[in-house]
Amino acid sequence: MLDRIPIPNPFGWEGLSTFSLLMMLAFLVGSYLLPKELERKKLDPSHSDWLIFLGILGTLVGAKIFFIFEIWDQVFIDVPGYDGKYTYPLTHWNGFPGHPGLWSSLFSGGGLVFFGGLLFGWLFITLYFRHHKLDIGAYYDAVIPAISMGYAIGRLGCFVSGDGCYGFATDTRIPFFVFDFHGAHPSGVPVWNTPVMESIMAFGYFAYFQFWARYQNFRKWSIGAQFLIIHGFARLIIEFLRVNKAVIPFIDPPTLVNIPDANGNPTFLTGYYWHGFSQSQYISIALILFGVYLLVSKKLWLKEETKV
């Protein structure tokens, strides 16, 4: 993985973060697409800058908060010799020795959970819509192509940085969809290339929204509801291949072996990993159900009548 682009300098700086660069590119592309779509839908494009800013802010805040939820059982633990399961992590930047710290994780450059960013981004821009008394359904539909493209680019950032959102180890060899992992975790293990899989799916539904759906005269909320359903199913499916903990395990999880052998080659999750729905899968199911609810309650399969 290329997590940094080296730049010669006398200050010992490691170089530009590829993840940060692609995240910035994702937001820049979104800031290009959104005002154009607002203009096309005869909505006020002057709101686009605030929507992008609040979307970025909500994404970062929510993604970090949900990341802390994911590693909660690693941060707040009982450690012999230390008093205060909760007090110590709250009062020490790096937390317990050998475990992720609450504050160091919260303010680190990595550790972002997409659904947390999505939910908080929606919350922030919804509050903006309500404050300015905007047509929420129409504006939501307008932001969907930008969100889809941003997600597709952002997932490529996860891949090049090697931050860990890969799939479990597999003996299957499918070019491009399985790769030998070299990143935040032990190297040399063939794993499912889930970041690229998700990116391809996101580019696919971006193309659907950008080049077809938005021209179909759907009712307000229809594009937003379709996004919730399509993205919900895409993420639900891909999570079966990803290395994520089950919120409520249905079966015993596989043994996690993370010790290099004499040649330095670690064995890492060599069996099928899924043993219960992950946090992201439960959120995916909720998004699908909410999208279906919008579709049915507002009869979004119908189209607006064309005014002559």
Name the binding residues. Answer: 155
Bridge partners of 94, per DSSP, are: none
Question: How many Å is the maximal CA-CA distance in the chain?
Answer: 78
Bridge partners of 303, per DSSP, are: 218
Question: Cα separation of 43 and 140, whole Å?
Answer: 11
**How many angstroms separate the first and last alpha carbons of the chain?**
56
Q: What are phi and psi of 149, to 5 degrees?
A: -65, -40
Q: What are phi and psi of 13, to 5 degrees?
A: -70, 130
Smallest CA-to-CA distance from 199 within 160, 249, 149 is with 149
Smallest CA-to-CA distance from 209 within 146, 145, 149, 147 is with 145
Question: Cα separation of 116 and 58, whole Å?
Answer: 9
C-alpha neighbours within 13 Å on the C-beta side of residue 128 = 19
Question: Cα separation of 265 and 126, whole Å?
Answer: 49
